[in-house]
Structure 1
Amino acid sequence: MYPRAVSRSVQRARPLAFSMGLLALGLTLNAGAEDYPHAHETIGTVEQIYDGAMLPDLAVSTYRNIDRLFPTHTIKAGAHPYALPRSDKQLANVRFTYEGKKYDLYDYVALDSVTAMLVIKDGKIVFETYQRGNNEKTRWMSMSMAKSITSTLAAAAIKDGLIKGLDSQVVDYVPELKGSAYDGVTVRDVLMMSSGVKWNETYTDPASDRRALLRAQISQKPRSAVTLMAGLPRAAEPGTVNNYSTGETQILGEIVRGAVNMPLADYLSKKIWQPFGMESDARWWLDSPDGVEIGGSGISATLRDYGRFGLFFMNGGKIDGKSILPNGWVSEATLPTTLKGGKKLDYGYMWWTAWTEASVKDGAYAAVGIQGQNIYVNPANNVVIVTFGAQPKPVDKEPVDPMTFFDAVVAALK
């Protein structure tokens, strides 16, 4: 198990019967299913995903059909995709050593249950593979990679003047939290998961706050998630203690929604998905029918569009030569941050800072989701790597540290 500044969250959710009930009510969970190559596959339940209780074939078909498990909003793509030409020089086999043992590319793909991988160097595809029946049209679950996308939307809202800045108060955008433990918490505190609000992230504990938030999502009752968050007590002064909390990302989503006055999916489409040139529509889970997007998970998009998002961020959030993010945001969001007491935190604004020597040297960072989802960005070498994973259990037990493999890829491309 490789180092982590804070533990990655895992979740549980309602069985597929919940989705079938919504369908019986006439709610559409998978718009355009007739055009999607995997739409008619048998899938498991949301509960099985987080229990790690699916055999490999069922896991794969479920992970590429998560928009059948909850209502979603569509993240609409534009008509002019950002070109991703294939490089004349393709990546050959990659060999590396991890924990004293020798591995290569084929070992990594097999051992870490990789179902698709894309490597972009200097804006060109140098490696692309689809496994287990996936293809270019496959939409795969983001898991917590969505957190990095939500934080980027917060940055865009700051640039647009809709959020007044990192020191803005949460309650200015989510009035329901006035008088709660989030009263006095800033946007920066939430981005650093340092609100000081008491939170137990243990997903296996039925009495944990994480499980309570999941029950709120499963209920699909409007505003149930923010109502839960409003009832939490304070455990520390804002900005002084980091405590990894999926609830913080839900609060961030509420902040963005309150500031931009439109669904997060629509704002993402308006600011990035269409103008940057994503090729395909994506989907995003909701907390209730036509409600607020789940800030910390639930996006399903194609491999190349996740790659394009990595390119967008690596290039400073620029579209047509102009950045839609505040000056210096990319560096500030992806390097270690500092708590109010001066303690260094190896975590950015909902981006993972590098944890291997080579990637730290290159200023690399990643959006990471359980069960093998990665958007790795190495700005020093102009490399973006995306992986889809179908690891059997959400317990952070990759046989091979993905960043060690990513370092080997970067070295092979030099």
Structure 2
Amino acid sequence: MIRTALAAATLLFAAPAAAQSQQEALDARYDRALAAGYKALMLCGAIANAERIGQDRSPEHVAQWELTGIQAPLNSIVNGLPHSIRVNASGVIDYVAVDWAEDSPARFARYRGEAGCALMPMGMQPSVTGHELPRYRDAVMANWHTKVRTPVRSELLAAMGDRYGKGSRTTSVIVYRADDVVDEVSADGFGPFVPQRTWSVAKSLAATLVGMAVHRGEAEVTASAGLGESADDPRRAITVDHLLRMASGRYSDTPGNRTDPLYFGGATVGESAAHWPLIHSPGSVFRYANNDTLMASAAISASFERYPVAEQLRLIGMTGTTAEADWQGGYVLSSQVWATPLDLVRFGQLYLNDGKLPDGTRILPEGWVQYVSTPSGPQPQGEFGYGAGFWLMNKSDGIPPDTFAAFGNRGQYVVIVPSRNVVIVRRGEDPVGSGFDIAAFTRGVLAALN
């Protein structure tokens, strides 16, 4: 009896330990697969989207910036994974492949022109297209010249160093006021015409596309976003407005809702973002979540056939911007957009102009600027408030209370100050653990402009 009891006890302790060990091995393998997906997508997006608009990025430059200082545990894996880039006979990238396991196929990111790069599901290889794609060059590029001795130059140079964030890595800063670029400074290999991934600045672009659909009469922010499995599913009560304000009430598994399976695993928007359960009444709790923006843009996706996203971006003047989609065509408008600093200035200019293009054509509804920049319902804790797809700087000392902004991971910022007719763009590749004080930088730039 004693021996039986001891044996049973040994099995009880051994089983959880074995299960834990198996799970650790599984997680380690998954991390390698995600790291390979991250590397494939970043190399493809950085190089191919730049080449499309006449700019050059090398794998070494991408490794130095986009693939350095990233989230754990991918940071310790990604640069040790070998990659290859397939270029077709027309000199256009077909795909980037990254090896990650001897017993599994490489991870592939396929380039598709205006739709950018799409990460294939684990185990899937892309077809070879042999495409010839037109290249776009910004009309301003030919006449661009670097400003000298401007009022804000010292602030821009300070942003390139550590004054506004120890360990931060600024790639480009550009200031616009009253229909002209005041000044711009960039790190080597970057500049006003070199696209970088916007990360969550894309959420503000998504809100803008929603606004354009509202102006055309194809959407209403108070309408149901169509979530849920049937008409009596409580998720049908979630409106587009709830989604834009991060107030859907749905569960998400991590703060900030990492969505790694979509971003780096090759899952689709529908698989990863549509089916999360409701745990709060819609409109009652603020919970920053990629899934909400993804579903807000999905709610207007039927209009993309008539008004393609690339054409809408070009209408704004964002000719160097690429909105990427998953491998099934679902736009990843919570993060996966590549845009140049000058394009983001033009994006901010649209809001300075109350939703009208420089020629006076209105493409956003009257009152849309006030809508996206006004808090309504639950608010996040901390220094910044939240409107509808935009952060609010109305609580920041020394900054005009009408200031609102698009914020993105790794230090992407587009600050819009209507009362001063100013747009401030800061691009970065800040390592995890560092940060950039955008409020202090905004105060510095505005003071210098006086």
TM over 0.5: yes
1:306 to 333, 344, 355: 344
- Which residue in 2 is equivalent to 1:220? 266
- Which residue in 2 is equivalent to 1:30? 48
CA distance in 1, matches of 2:353, 2:33: 36
Letter in 2 for 1:309: F
* Alpha carbons of structure 1 residues 197 and 46: separation in structure 2 relative to 1, 3 Å: farther
- Which residue in 1 is equivalent to 2:417? 378
CA distance in 2, matches of 1:42, 1:79: 22
CA distance in 1, matches of 2:33, 2:222: 34
RMSD (Å) for aligned C-alpha atoms: 4.0
- Which residue in 2 is equivalent to 1:241? 285
User: Does the 8 Å contact 2:147/2:184 carry over to 1?
Assistant: no
1:269 partnered with 2:310: yes
Letter in 2 for 1:255: A
Describe the SS at the equivalent of 1:338. coil
Describe the SS at the equivalent of 2:365. coil
CA distance in 1, matches of 2:172, 2:190: 7
CA distance in 2, matches of 1:19, 1:331: 39
User: Does the 8 Å contact 2:164/2:441 carry over to 1?
Assistant: no
1:168-214 CA distances to partner (integer Å, 9 max, x unpaired)? 1111xx686766553221111111111111223337xxxxxx35x32
Task: Tell me which of the two structures has the higher relative contact order, counting C-alpha pairs closer than 8 angstroms and 6 or more residues apart.
Answer: 1
CA distance in 2, matches of 1:46, 1:40: 10
CA distance in 1, matches of 2:229, 2:138: 39
State the shift of 1:310 in Å: 0.9
1:170 partnered with 2:225: yes
Greater Rg by CA: 2
* Alpha carbons of structure 1 residues 28 and 129: separation in structure 2 relative to 1, 3 Å: closer
Letter in 1 for 2:35: P
User: Does the 8 Å contact 1:155/1:325 carry over to 2?
Assistant: yes
- Which residue in 2 is equivalent to 1:62? none
User: Does the 8 Å contact 2:199/2:334 carry over to 1?
Assistant: yes
* Alpha carbons of structure 1 residues 16 and 53: separation in structure 2 relative to 1, 3 Å: closer
User: Sequence identity of aligned pairs in percent?
Assistant: 22
- Which residue in 1 is equivalent to 2:294? 250
Give runs of aligned pairs for residues 51-62 of structure 1, distance below 5 A: 51=72
User: Does the 8 Å contact 2:228/2:275 carry over to 1?
Assistant: no
User: Does the 8 Å contact 1:180/1:231 carry over to 2?
Assistant: no
1:71-113 CA distances to partner (integer Å, 9 max, x unpaired)? 56627969766998987972245579xxxxxx88854377432
State the shift of 1:136 in Å: 3.6
- Which residue in 1 is equivalent to 2:124? none
Give runs of aligned pairs for residues 4-153 of structure 1, distance below 5 A: 14-16=34-36, 30=48, 33=51, 35-41=54-60, 43-44=62-63, 49-51=70-72, 70-71=109-110, 74=114, 90-92=150-152, 94=154, 107-108=162-163, 111=166, 112-153=168-209
* Alpha carbons of structure 1 residues 338 and 235: separation in structure 2 relative to 1, 3 Å: same
Letter in 2 for 1:386: V
* Alpha carbons of structure 1 residues 235 and 409: separation in structure 2 relative to 1, 3 Å: same
User: Does the 8 Å contact 1:192/1:347 carry over to 2?
Assistant: yes
CA distance in 1, matches of 2:246, 2:169: 30
Letter in 1 for 2:247: S
- Which residue in 2 is equivalent to 1:160? 216
Q: Give TM-score, length-normalised by structure 2.
A: 0.68
CA distance in 2, matches of 1:79, 1:389: 22
CA distance in 1, matches of 2:409, 2:387: 18
1:231-263 CA distances to partner (integer Å, 9 max, x unpaired)? 3221111112111111101111211213x1439
* Alpha carbons of structure 1 residues 216 and 109: separation in structure 2 relative to 1, 3 Å: closer
1:136-181 CA distances to partner (integer Å, 9 max, x unpaired)? 4311110110000001100110111111x1211111xx68676655
1:193 partnered with 2:246: yes
Give runs of aligned pairs for residues 321-332 of structure 1, distance below 5 A: 321-332=360-371
User: Does the 8 Å contact 1:363/1:378 carry over to 2?
Assistant: yes
- Which residue in 2 is equivalent to 1:335? 374
1:259-293 CA distances to partner (integer Å, 9 max, x unpaired)? x1439xx634333x323333x4322232225x111
Describe the SS at the equivalent of 2:311. helix
CA distance in 2, matches of 1:88, 1:226: 49
Letter in 2 for 1:126: V
Q: Name structure 1 gaps, 5 residues minimum.
A: 1-10, 59-64, 97-102, 204-209
2:427 to 385, 388, 393: 388
* Alpha carbons of structure 1 residues 48 and 381: separation in structure 2 relative to 1, 3 Å: closer
Q: Using the TM superposition, name which of 299-308 and 143-152 deviates more.
A: 299-308
Number of aligned pairs?
A: 360
In the TM superposition, structure 1's runs of 4+ consecutive aligned residues that sit over 6 Å from their partners are 45-48, 75-79, 82-89, 174-177
Letter in 2 for 1:14: L
State the shift of 1:302 in Å: 1.2
State the shift of 1:54 in Å: 5.3
Q: Using the TM superposition, name which of 45-54 and 303-312 deviates more.
A: 45-54
* Alpha carbons of structure 1 residues 408 and 288: separation in structure 2 relative to 1, 3 Å: same
CA distance in 1, matches of 2:198, 2:109: 14
State the shift of 1:376 in Å: 0.7
